[in-house]
């Protein structure tokens, strides 16, 4: 049942109650007061049930959310936030409560629980034509931008205007708005309690050329060309029409204070500032990969993933998805975030995040899970490979040893392996307290029987554990810990041998045909034998291809299909990679930012959104940061990636490049791989590669012509 259906059922019960009481009193002379009072008592009891039902509804979805839903029911013709997609915008590492939120069309809330700023297009009489909340999604286009001094912003383009919201350190935001309207249309800025992350707006006060909005925010300077079109309370009769007022203060106990500003037909810049500034970027930024000669959409998407991941960080915590939906860190999703940022050149940032991963062995909403040690070691090793700093390896070494021993313990377990975990679990899982500490059950046929979520995806658990042991051995090599490196490589080889044997065993067929097997066999683990794994993937593709060819298809979990696309890259099918990415990008929640989503609705009892007047009927969690990481890692791998196991590792250049891109010269640099950063150029006849790291064989992707020459150089820097 939807929120609106529950709301309607609740109010129908009120109407029945009132009607019943009136009928009882009207019939009292016929049936007698005793029977009338008895019926009233029964109806009042039913009213108590209705009141309890409303209390339950408010508790489930939140008082403020319910207030907005009721207003939407009462005023269906009024404009409301679209609630289909949003992105956070705030200083890197800021808390979820400090981040602003932007929706398609440019509607914005400067922090959680504040207010909404939207744009209204009106005719000469003030009649509403369109708002930033109802312009069709495919007629909006957003992109991340940088100010001349490097401040992150989001620019939104529509047929009516261009609006750019830019962070100004911890002081607030700057809005640059440029109308694109004919003479009979005008643009207004609407400020109201409801918005992308709004709250009860009780007071707006005009102070000279500034507006003080709520408690703690100021908008201005307004200038002589900015006129107040409405100053009052939304929802009152005629509130959408212009109603100039000399009042300087509006107050609304119910939180519906509203002001609308009529803008000049020229570009305008306004500041939205905090009374008490917060800390500016708390995390480091670095240069990004340089991409020249590639498809514009590919380049925009890759850059957008980096910014999306940065803006989702809370302190040193990696969140699985948009931070108000996920107010906790989660190791699995975070491991991919760390590796993606490291490979995208954000090594200082990845180092800070990786050090947090090193100290804690298990954390996330499902407690202590079996994939945690392997994924953490993989993330640490990938960061180490790109940092190339002895100090980092020495700092994490005790933690590497401990995590590797956890994998060995699970691989030899003859009884349940249990472990406490750090941080909170998802509230709905607290009743499963004993399961939350179950990492793995006794090993089976040489394989770790670990828990992931509430499943036992044995091939996935062992794939990431194998990757973790290989990563641990590489860190041991860096520190000249030969005995540890040899022991972990032997254990990894044993796991791989058991994995391959089980993968070809009919008794294990059902376990092998698990979505999680298909996201881990070649990428990121290189545990699977290529031909048998290719057969599994081909069977899956025959089932999936009709869905990818259906324009309306929206997978529920976007990180899984992107990870499968990465397997197809390894299997030399860039055409299938393109099919998956193209389809997902056709369904962006915020067009132009290339963000993806998870699930339907919001995580049970995790979301903090019910406390705000925004995101009232969430379709899913977006952005999702495991998804963003998988996309970023896939795009980087399409340009350069090491592939193959320890005995067959090679560097593949341009494995995902379509042939049509090769008609132009290409230059890319700063592409992170397991063996260091890679630069390469293509001039139409020759590929020149520079590897800033280890020596290994190099080959070109399948789209390069057979006549292409290859030059490889190695740099020690």
- What is residue 60's predicted lDDT score, i.e. its pLDDT? 73
- What is residue 54's predicted lDDT score, i.e. its pLDDT? 59
- What is residue 17's predicted lDDT score, i.e. its pLDDT? 47
- What is residue 45's predicted lDDT score, i.e. its pLDDT? 60
Decide if pLDDT at 555 tops 50. yes
Report the chain's terminal Cα–Cα distance, integer Å: 60
Q: Distance (Å, rounded) from C-alpha 676 to C-alpha 345? A: 10
- Residue 227 shares a structural domain with residue 137: yes
- Residue 206 shares a structural domain with residue 57: no
* 20-58 tens-digit pLDDT: 544 554 554 444 444 544 555 565 565 565 556 657 666
Minimal CA–CA distance to 101: which of 521, 566, 645, 614?
Answer: 614
Is 703 within a domain? yes
Tell which of 472, 507, 542 closes a domain: 507
Tokens 């514009």 found at: 296
- Contact between 495 and 446 (Cβ < 8 Å): yes
Residue 20 CB neighbours (<10 A) = 17
- Residue 270 shares a structural domain with residue 183: yes
Sign of the Cα torsion 187, 193, 194, 199 reads: positive
Contacts of 514 (CB under 8 A, 6+ apart): 455, 457, 459, 460
How long a stretch of residues is the chain?
717
- What is residue 29's predicted lDDT score, i.e. its pLDDT? 47
Tell which of 222, 250, 274 closes a domain: 274
- Residue 226 shares a structural domain with residue 110: yes
359, 444, 518 from 499: Cα distances, Å:
29, 11, 14
Is 124 within a domain? yes
Q: Residue 367: in which H helix or E strand, if any? A: none
Tokens 């207010």 found at: 115
- What is residue 225's predicted lDDT score, i.e. its pLDDT? 95
How many structural domains does the chain have? 4
Residue 600 CB neighbours (<10 A) = 11
- What is residue 429's predicted lDDT score, i.e. its pLDDT? 78
Q: Is 309 exposed, middle or buried (0-12, 13-18, 19+ CB in 10 A)?
A: buried
Is 629 within a domain? no
Decide if pLDDT at 589 tops 80. yes
Is 355 within a domain? no
Decide if pLDDT at 713 tops 70. yes
Residue 614 CB neighbours (<10 A) = 29
- Residue 53 shares a structural domain with residue 97: no
- Residue 369 shares a structural domain with residue 418: yes
Q: Distance (Å, rounded) from C-alpha 327 to C-alpha 607? A: 7
* 648-705 tens-digit pLDDT: 999 999 999 999 999 999 999 999 999 999 999 999 999 999 999 999 999 999 999 9
Q: Is 216 exposed, middle or buried (0-12, 13-18, 19+ CB in 10 A)?
A: middle
Decide if pLDDT at 347 tops 90. yes
* 484-493 tens-digit pLDDT: 999 999 999 9
- Contact between 657 and 705 (Cβ < 8 Å): no
- Residue 43 shares a structural domain with residue 101: no
Sign of the Cα torsion 194, 198, 200, 206 reads: negative
Is 566 within a domain? no
Boundaries of domain holding 416: 360-507
Bridge partners (DSSP) of residue 211 are 206, 219
142, 494, 620, 691, 701 from 588: Cα distances, Å:
11, 43, 12, 35, 29
Residue 381 CB neighbours (<10 A) = 26
- Contact between 625 and 309 (Cβ < 8 Å): yes
- Residue 244 shares a structural domain with residue 163: yes
DSSP 273-304: EESS------S------EEESS-HHHHHHHHH
Sign of the Cα torsion 575, 580, 583, 585 reads: negative
Bridge partners (DSSP) of residue 143 are 155
Is 290 within a domain? no
Q: Is 280 exposed, middle or buried (0-12, 13-18, 19+ CB in 10 A)?
A: middle
Structure tokens at 124: 């000469």
Asked which of 17-31, 88-102, 150-164, 662-676 is least confident by mean pLDDT, the reply is 17-31
Averaged pLDDT of the chain: 93
- What is residue 19's predicted lDDT score, i.e. its pLDDT? 52
Q: Residue 699: in which H helix or E strand, if any? A: strand 698-700
Is 492 within a domain? yes
Tell which of 25, 44, 61 closes a domain: 61
Residue 450 CB neighbours (<10 A) = 31
Decide if pLDDT at 7 tops 90. no
- Residue 99 shares a structural domain with residue 30: no
Q: Distance (Å, rounded) from C-alpha 87 to C-alpha 101? A: 6
- Contact between 398 and 377 (Cβ < 8 Å): no
The pTM for the full model equals 0.93
Which bin fits 106, alpha (ψ -120 to 50), beta or left (φ > 0)?
A: left
Bridge partners (DSSP) of residue 438 are 418
* 517-540 tens-digit pLDDT: 999 999 999 999 999 999 999 999
Contacts of 632 (CB under 8 A, 6+ apart): 302, 305, 306, 309, 340, 343, 344
- Residue 262 shares a structural domain with residue 180: yes
Confidence of residue 434 (pLDDT cuts 50, 70, 90): confident
Cis peptide before 524 (omega within 30 of 0): yes
Contacts of 658 (CB under 8 A, 6+ apart): 295, 574, 578, 703
CA-CA-CA-CA dihedral for 546, 549, 550, 555, to nearest 10: 80
- Residue 96 shares a structural domain with residue 37: no
Is 685 within a domain? yes
Q: Distance (Å, rounded) from C-alpha 463 to C-alpha 644? A: 14
Q: Distance (Å, rounded) from C-alpha 565 to C-alpha 26? A: 71
Phi first, then psi: what are they for 507, rounded to 5°?
A: -65, -20
Contacts of 68 (CB under 8 A, 6+ apart): 80, 194, 613, 614, 616
Q: Distance (Å, rounded) from C-alpha 318 to C-alpha 423? A: 13
DSSP reduced 3-state for 412: coil
Please state the three-class secondary structure of 604-650 as a single string: CCCCCHHHCECCCCCCCECCEHHHHHHHHHHHHHHHEEEECCCCCCE
* 119-147 tens-digit pLDDT: 999 999 999 999 999 999 999 999 999 99
Please state the three-class secondary structure of 441-486 as a single string: EEEECCEEEECECCECCHHHHHHHHHHHHHHHHHHHHHCCCHHHHH
- What is residue 48's predicted lDDT score, i.e. its pLDDT? 60
Which bin fits 633, alpha (ψ -120 to 50), beta or left (φ > 0)?
A: alpha
- Residue 114 shares a structural domain with residue 241: yes
Minimal CA–CA distance to 677: which of 290, 394, 284, 311?
Answer: 290
């Amino acid at each position: 049942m939807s929120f609106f259906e529950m709301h309607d059922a609740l109010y129908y019960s009120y109407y029945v109650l009132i009607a019943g009481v009136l009928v009882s009193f009207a019939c009292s002379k016929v049936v007698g007061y005793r029977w009338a009072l008895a019926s009233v008592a029964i109806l009042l009891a039913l009213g108590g049930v209705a009141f309890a039902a409303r209390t339950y509804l408010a508790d489930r979805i939140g008082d403020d959310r319910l207030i907005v839903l009721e207003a939407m029911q009462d005023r269906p013709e009024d404009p409301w936030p679209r609630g289909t997609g949003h992105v956070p915008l705030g200083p890197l590492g800021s808390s979820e409560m400090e981040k602003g939120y932007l929706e398609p069309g440019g509607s914005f809330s400067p922090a959680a629980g504040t207010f909404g700023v939207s744009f209204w297009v009106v005719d000469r009489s003030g009649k509403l034509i369109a708002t930033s909340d109802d312009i069709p999604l495919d007629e909006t286009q957003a992109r991340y931008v940088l100010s001349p001094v490097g401040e992150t912003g989001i620019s939104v383009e529509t047929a009516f205007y261009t609006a750019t919201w830019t962070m100004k350190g911890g002081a607030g935001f700057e809005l640059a708005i440029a109308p694109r309207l004919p003479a009979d249309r005008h643009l207004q800025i609407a400020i109201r309690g409801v918005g992308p992350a709004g709250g009860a707006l009780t007071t707006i006060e005009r102070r000279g050329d500034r507006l003080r909005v709520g408690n703690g925010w100021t908008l201005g300077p307004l200038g002589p060309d900015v006129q107040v079109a409405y100053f009052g309370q939304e929802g009152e009769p005629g509130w959408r029409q212009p109603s100039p007022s000399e009042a300087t203060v509006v107050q609304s106990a119910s939180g519906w204070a509203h002001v609308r500003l009529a803008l000049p037909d020229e570009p305008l810049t306004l500041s939205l500032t905090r009374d008490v500034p917060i800390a500016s970027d708390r995390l480091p930024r670095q240069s990004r990969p340089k991409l020249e000669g590639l498809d514009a959409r590919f380049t925009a998407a890759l850059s957008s993933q980096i910014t999306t991941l940065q803006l989702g960080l809370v302190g040193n915590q990696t969140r699985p998805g948009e931070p108000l939906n996920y107010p906790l860190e989660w190791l699995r999703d975070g491991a991919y975030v760390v590796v993606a940022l490291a490979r995208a050149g954000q090594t200082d940032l990845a180092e800070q995040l990786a050090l947090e991963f090193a100290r804690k062995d298990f954390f996330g909403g499902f407690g202590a899970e079996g994939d945690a040690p392997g994924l953490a070691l993989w993330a640490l090793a990938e960061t180490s490979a790109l940092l190339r700093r002895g100090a980092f390896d020495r700092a994490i070494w005790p933690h590497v040893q401990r995590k590797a021993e956890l994998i060995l313990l699970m691989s030899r377990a003859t009884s349940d392996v249990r472990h406490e975990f750090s941080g909170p679990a998802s509230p709905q899982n607290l009743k499963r307290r004993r399961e939350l500490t179950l990492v793995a059950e006794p090993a089976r046929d040489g394989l770790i029987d670990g828990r992931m979520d509430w499943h036992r995806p044995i091939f996935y658990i062992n794939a990431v554990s194998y990757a973790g042991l290989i990563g641990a051995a590489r860190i041991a090599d860096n520190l000249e810990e030969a005995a540890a490196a040899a022991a972990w490589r032997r254990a990894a080889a044993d796991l791989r041998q058991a994995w391959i044997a089980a993968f070809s065993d009919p008794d294990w067929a059902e376990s092998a045909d698990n979505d999680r097997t298909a996201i881990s066999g070649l990428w990121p683990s290189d545990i699977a034998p290529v031909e048998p794994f290719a057969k599994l993937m081909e069977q899956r593709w025959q089932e999936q291809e009709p869905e990818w060819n259906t324009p309306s298809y929206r997978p529920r979990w976007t990180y899984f299909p992107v990870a499968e696309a990465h397997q197809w890259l390894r299997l030399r099918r860039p055409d299938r990679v393109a099919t998956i990415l193209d389809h997902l990008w056709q369904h962006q929640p915020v067009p132009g930012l290339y963000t993806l989503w998870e699930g339907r609705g919001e995580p049970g009892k995790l979301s903090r959104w019910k406390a705000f007047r925004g995101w009232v009927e969430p379709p899913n969690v977006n952005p999702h940061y495991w998804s963003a990481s998988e996309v970023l890692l896939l795009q980087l791998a399409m340009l350069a990636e090491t592939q193959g196991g320890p005995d067959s590792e090679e560097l593949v250049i341009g494995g995902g490049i379509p042939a049509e891109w090769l008609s132009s010269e290409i230059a890319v640099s700063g592409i992170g791989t397991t063996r260091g950063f890679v630069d390469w150029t293509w001039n139409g006849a020759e590929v020149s590669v520079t590897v800033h790291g280890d020596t290994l064989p190099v080959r070109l992707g399948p789209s390069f012509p057979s006549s292409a020459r290859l030059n490889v150089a190695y740099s020690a820097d």
